[in-house]
Chains A and B, each alone.
Chain A
Amino acid sequence: MIRFKVLMCVAILIYAVGARAESLYLERMASARWSPAELADTLTLLQQHEDIEPVSVQRPAPFHQQKAPQVDAQREFCVACHTTLPHSENKRLRSYLNLHVQSLACTSCHFRPEEVELSYRHWPLKQSVAADDAPSLIAPFSAGVVEAFTREQPEIERLIGDWKQMDIQHKAAVHLHIHLPLDEQGPGCGNCHTREEPMLDLQALEYDEEQIRKIQQDRVARFLGDESLEDQPIRLIDLLR
């Protein structure tokens, strides 16, 4: 029975997003199979999970005026659960990884099937707005179909709404369907912040030369991405040299 419900959910997803054309991610979602150990891990994860309500501290206000993060990414499907600040475990990298939520769809880093060549293009999050002003993220495309969803699609909204009423077995199955095609670990800093065969073709993504130089030769990313320095703190003076 549970299996049937889950399949229905996934079918809804496929219908919602993939009806126009075949999305590779949706295909993999539908065909996901898991071992009893993976199911047990997921059940434990869900049981131990505690929702932390976002808190805003009004007083005392932050001493320095801050720049608020851009919130275009709020339209993305994954953000419904993971929020716009999804990375919190790795103290060294979390803030830097969260920077990328402003410009990259989650699947750009976390959906990387080995045998398929993906192209990365701007993915408008809102169709109704004029093309120049439309909020967009860089997302992976396979055979011209985007491998990401917005949460504003009615069926996805329904799935997110149903999530709270699901029993834990049901939740675990949906969780596995969604997450098994994804990699927990994204690509390292050096995959993009490099001049030698970067993962993203920034020129095709219409970045200007100055922006490309800043991204590819980013000093901080080079330090953070250096695995030999992973365990030792970075001295600020070294960063400036």
Chain B
Amino acid sequence: MKRAMLAIALAAASVGALADRMPIPAGAPPAFKAECGSCHLPFPPALLAADDWRRVMNKLDRHYGDNASLDEKAHRQIGDFLVKNAGSSRKLGGAGGDPPRLTLTDWFRKEHDEVPASTWKDKRVGSAAHCGACHARAEQGSYRERELRVPGMEGKRHGRD
């Protein structure tokens, strides 16, 4: 019983942690931030499952409208890092898109189901991959609801916490 309670508490804590704090895991190769963080935020590896990261890495020459090919060493280092720190496919659900998009997992959609279409279309947001448009401290790996600054919703309370 105690063990079950602990398991539940740990599961709850990890769900919270996935939602609020997603710093770049220790052991990230320098190439991760340099390569994956030059056109967009270096996304938390936990936001895609291992198989989906593999699919992303296998199609870097067609990377959502850009060619993001890497040299062999950086490709291997980044790929290993992403797969090792990938999220749980059970928690995230499969990701839509080809290559898969971390903004199209069941988990991501559910977390953002309150965001109105007008916000996604807002010029200041532009793309669902622009985490920092609303998550003011996304660069620091923090996604707490109280830090939200949603364009067009300034001053409004937003969220479930």
* Chain A bound to chain B: no
A residues engaging B (CB < 8 A)? none
B residues engaging A (CB < 8 A)? none
